[in-house]
Structure 1
Amino acid sequence: MSFADSYLGRLRELIGDRLVLMPGARIVIECADGRILLQKRSDFGLWGLPGGNTEEGEGLGAVVIREVAEETGLTVRNVEPFGFGCDPQYETFVFPNGDQAQFVALIFYTRSFDGEAAVADDESSAVGWFAVDGLPEMLPNMMRSIEAFSGSKRPENSR
């Protein structure tokens, strides 16, 4: 789906670049050796977790599954929520085009996926697996999500 066809794209047609509150989801995908998958965002040029915003009638679990497939080509299963990103200090952004958004995101985790990670849309310029102690420059809200993941007891799915 194109941005113009998305819920947020249609909303932007009505409100312009004004601040919008956006529910969504992001996910920590961990491979067997403990590295996590990141995507380099084409808008900010920084790394972050796969994820995105809800569409009308979509639950947050479905959001994260859809967004991972759209952004990385992976199919994730057994997604488990472990945290929530909602601090306006870290979750409010002004995008390069002037659009403003404050995100509220349920953060998921999985080790269960199929496929090979690759750039699958124009939202990313690269994808890669990184050790948690060797992360590239990241968006601050994404870094906080990974810190929450590292500090939490990891859900037991597909170990």
Structure 2
Amino acid sequence: MSFADSYLGRLRQLVGSRLVLVPGARIVIEREDGCILLHKRTDFDRWGLPGGSAEEGENIETIIIREVAEETGLAVRDVKPFAFGSDPRYETFEFPNGDRTQFFALIFYTRSFAGDAAVMDDESSAVGWFAPDALPDMLSNMARSVEAYLRFKKTGEFQMI
């Protein structure tokens, strides 16, 4: 689906680049060796977790399953929430085209997936597996999401970030 055809794309046609509050999801996909899947975003030329915004009629799990497939080609299963990202200091972005967005993201994790990760859309320029202690240059909200995941693994406590 092209951005123009998406719910957010159609909304942008009505409101222009004004700040829009957007629900969505992102996910930490962890391999058996502990490495985490990231994709390099074409909009900011930085790394981030797979994820995206809601489309009409989707529930939150459907969002993350669809986004992972669209961005990486992986089929994820057994997705579990561990955090919620809503701090406007980290979740508010101005995109290169001037659009302003504040995200409200339920953050999932999974260790259950099928397929081989690959660039599947024009939102990504690369995908790769990274050790949590050797992450590349990431968007701040994405780095905070990984940090929250590591805290969750130690404490079992849901993270509000």
Following TM superposition, by how much is the alpha carbon of 1:153 offset from its aligned partner in structure 2, in angstroms? 2.7
Partners of 1:62 and 1:86 in 2: CA distance: 20
What is the aligned residue count?
Answer: 155
Following TM superposition, by how much is the alpha carbon of 1:57 offset from its aligned partner in structure 2, in angstroms? 1.2
TM-score, length basis structure 2: 0.95
Report what 2:21 is aligned to.
21
Partners of 1:35 and 1:132 in 2: CA distance: 6
1:107-129 Cα offsets, whole Å, 9 max, x none, are 00000000000000000000000
Partners of 2:37 and 2:60 in 1: CA distance: 19
Report what 1:70 is aligned to.
70
Q: Is residue 2:91 matched to residue 1:103?
A: no
Moved over 6 A (4+): none
Report what 2:8 is aligned to.
8
5+ unaligned residues in a row in structure 1: which ranges?
none
Report what 1:47 is aligned to.
47
Partners of 1:142 and 1:69 in 2: CA distance: 19
The DSSP-based 3-state class of the residue aligned with 1:153 is helix
5+ unaligned residues in a row in structure 2: which ranges?
157-161
Q: Is residue 2:121 matched to residue 1:124?
A: no
Report what 1:141 is aligned to.
141
Q: Which amino acid aligns with 2:100?
A: Q
TM-score, length basis structure 1: 0.96
The DSSP-based 3-state class of the residue aligned with 2:4 is coil
Partners of 1:105 and 1:25 in 2: CA distance: 5
The DSSP-based 3-state class of the residue aligned with 2:153 is coil
Partners of 1:22 and 1:60 in 2: CA distance: 13
Q: Is residue 2:93 matched to residue 1:93?
A: yes
Partners of 1:3 and 1:93 in 2: CA distance: 17
Partners of 1:24 and 1:53 in 2: CA distance: 4
Q: Which amino acid aligns with 1:24?
A: G
Partners of 1:142 and 1:11 in 2: CA distance: 24
Root-mean-square deviation over aligned CA pairs = 0.9
The DSSP-based 3-state class of the residue aligned with 1:58 is coil
Partners of 1:20 and 1:78 in 2: CA distance: 30
Q: Which amino acid aligns with 2:20?
A: V
Partners of 1:124 and 1:32 in 2: CA distance: 24
- Identity over the aligned pairs, expressed in percent? 72
